[in-house]
Structures are given as C-alpha cells and as structure tokens.
Structure 1
C-alpha cells in the first residue's frame, strides 16, 4: 500500500458505516474532512473504543516506538508480523479503525511517470481499515508521540497488478468486533490474517497524475481519466 488515501466524508458518515449505536465521544469535528490526498503524518480521524464508548480523534498517520529514533515512523504494519514482532508490541493491544473513502497506488506502465490508480469499494461505502496505534484514552490525553499504522496484507486477484499490498479492511460487523475491548488478541490476529474483505468488493481506475503533488487537493483528484 502506497502512502496516500482520501478521507473526505464527515465523521457521522463513517459512524453510520460502522453501524454502532454506542454513544460517540467526538473530538474530530462534525464537518466533512475533505482530505482528498492525505499523505503520511497527516492528522486523520481514527476510531477506537473505551469500554462501551466509541471515540473519534484526530491522530497522526505514522508511529514508531520511543526507542526507534534512527528511522522514520512507519505508516503500515504487515499482518504477518504485527502481532508478534517487537516493533509494534506496545500498540498491538490498542486496536482502532480508520474509515477511508479510497486509497491510491502508483503503477509503472512504461511512461515517463508512474500512473496513479484510485481503489475504492464498488458500492462506494467507506472502507473500514484495521489499525493499531497510540492515541488519547482514559489513561492519557493527546501526546506528541501519538500515531497509528494501518495493517496491510498481500493483495489477491487482479488487485495484485496494481500493488502487492493492500489494507486489511473489514465488514461493519467485523470492524465492531475488532474495536471491542473484550475481543481477545488471538481472535483479533485471526481476523486480520483471514477475514479481510475480498478483492471482489473493490474497483480501481486511473486518475490524473497531478495527484503526485501532495499539495493538490479537491474532488477533481478522484475522478477517473480516459
């Protein structure tokens, strides 16, 4: 998964997609986010659950443990290693969902520049991506060390022609189970490994190369080109 995505709808659209009746503690705001070309280190709306309460907070995309000062903060975590490797051990128990509208990949098609593709659900519903992170909770407020990573898996089917990795995304039912604090870590690992939504749920198409400049924003970026 390359490092760009869109999160342009508002928090209540994403809550509706989760189908969670729980009371919402929302510090992310009520207006559409309008982030059509979000890059690493962007503050994005992240869901997590504390007891029965659903929380929505703006959290930086990217995280590293305090001892890993010699490398940039990763934005993704490979599902094959995330539950057992030392790098993400501290945040593996802190599960979250980032709801996005789409993500982007760049493909070398022999031209002078790589061709960007947009990937979204065929039904246009938000994509509920599995994430882990450090974020405000009952034990501490916002911190400069807060951040999150998106869990990724091998691509399958036709999507592998676009990129060999993709986000682990869940149905609303599984997303709620992922968020639930009572879900055991072993069960969460099995969900991430084996229950991501199938390639058939998605579609992808070419978009304009102006996406490459992260300063470019706006709904024109997500329109298909001929």
Structure 2
C-alpha cells in the first residue's frame, strides 16, 4: 500500500475541499497544469500541495524518495506512520509536510495466480486528502527530490482488501498538517487521526488497471453492483 492512485480532479476542486477561508491562502499554480490521470504509479510524477507561509504551492514531484546515503537501491513510495517521525531513514523529510490529493487508490487481492484489483474511494465523491512528506525544490526539481505517502494499518472491512491504507485527513486536519506553525509533535499525533473506513467504499475493477500504461475513466468502473 499504496500501489496506484487516481488524480482526476482540478486544483479548484482541491482548494474547495480544503475549505480555506476566502481570504487565504493564495494558490500558486505556477506552470503546473493538473490533468486527469487514472493510473498514477510509484516512481512516476504525482501532483502534490505544499505550504509556503500564506501560499499554497501546487506542483508535481517524483512519487518515491530515499536518503542520499541509502545504498540498498530501494525507492520507497510510502512511509509507515509508526516509523516516519523517528526513523533515521525519514529524518531529513519528516519536517517537510506535503499533501497528496487523490480521487482514490487501487489495491490487489490474490486469487490463485492472478491479482485482482480493487478501487477505493470516498463515498461522498470528494477528493481524499492524503498526508505525505517529501523533498521538493521550487521552482525546479533537483536530483533526489521526491514525496512519499504516509500509511497506517487498515481498519474495519478495509482489511479484507489490504492491510495498509493512506492516512486520509479531514479538511481541518489537512490545513493543520500543511501549516508550517504546526509543531512536529502535533503532526505525529495527527497520524492517529485519519478518517475511518466508514468514509470509504471499495469494489472490484477490471484487470486492465494492472498495466501501468493503461489509462482512462473506464478503469474505475465496478465489476459488481454491490459496493462494499
């Protein structure tokens, strides 16, 4: 977890979801254009929000990061909530909180020799605001830049699909997470305050999504009528 995500919303929808007061913050889109992507995969580019004072900075960054001293060749795309605040591996980017907005994400369950994909999304159709950390240089990315989603143990029926889930924040928590004034200790506590499984629904989708090159809204169509 989390293996693939969907980013098919506009920046305006994201800002409206965050529910900032009309007077702040400003949104700095720069040259970034957000276009629908239905099969965003690790190590590719992912849309991300950062905070710079009273300005929300929209951008893209590689989905995956490792410290410069790591020699094992791994490029993790996710960080576990129980380790991200204290592990030496994540020490350099823990203070740099980001937000990755998604429409939903894919997970897989084994069935014999096959891997069956599921799509998980909010029941109310709003974007999911995922806690993330990362190293991002503005306005131009540099070597070693990247972001990772923060994950926690799954709860409730979601465990049947996968044992990990991204930490999804309410608008209020997401604003607090991005606020540079939020202490690191409070940020760590917020990792225990993700939205509950009842907020989400999940259903089987076509194995067409298994191929990273496949794109399009048809990847999100349920294979069964009963949503779990």
TM-score by length of 1: 0.94
- The farther-off stretch of 34-43 and 97-106 is 34-43
How far does residue 64 in structure 1 lie from its aligned partner after superposition?
0.5
Given that 2:98 and 2:133 are in contact with CA atoms closer than 8 Å, whether structure 1 keeps it comes out as yes
Task: Provide closer, same or farther for how the CA distance between residues 28 and 18 of structure 1 changes in structure 2, counting only shifts above 3 A.
Answer: farther
Given that 1:2 and 1:106 are in contact with CA atoms closer than 8 Å, whether structure 2 keeps it comes out as no
1:53 & 1:134 partners in 2: Cα distance? 18
Deviation per CA, 1:31-55: give whole Å up to 9, x if none: x521101111121111010111110
**Residue of 50, 53, 56 corresponding to 1:51:** 53
Deviation per CA, 1:64-118: give whole Å up to 9, x if none: 11111322210000000110000000000000000000000000134x4111000
How far does residue 27 in structure 1 lie from its aligned partner after superposition?
3.1
- Residue-pair matches, total: 221
Task: Provide closer, same or farther for how the CA distance between residues 108 and 95 of structure 1 changes in structure 2, counting only shifts above 3 A.
Answer: same
**Residue of 58, 61, 64 corresponding to 1:62:** 64
1:81 & 1:167 partners in 2: Cα distance? 14
1:58 & 1:161 partners in 2: Cα distance? 32
Counterparts of 1:130-141 in structure 2 under 5 Å?
A: 130-137=131-138, 141=140
Task: Provide closer, same or farther for how the CA distance between residues 73 and 28 of structure 1 changes in structure 2, counting only shifts above 3 A.
Answer: farther
How far does residue 28 in structure 1 lie from its aligned partner after superposition?
5.7
Superposition misfits of 4+ residues, deviation over 6 angstroms: none
The Cα RMSD (Å) is 1.3
Equivalence for 1:26:
29
Equivalence for 1:143:
142
Equivalence for 1:216:
214
Counterparts of 1:101-116 in structure 2 under 5 Å?
A: 101-110=103-112, 112-116=113-117
What stretches of structure 2 of length at least 5 have no aligned partner? none
What stretches of structure 1 of length at least 5 have no aligned partner? none
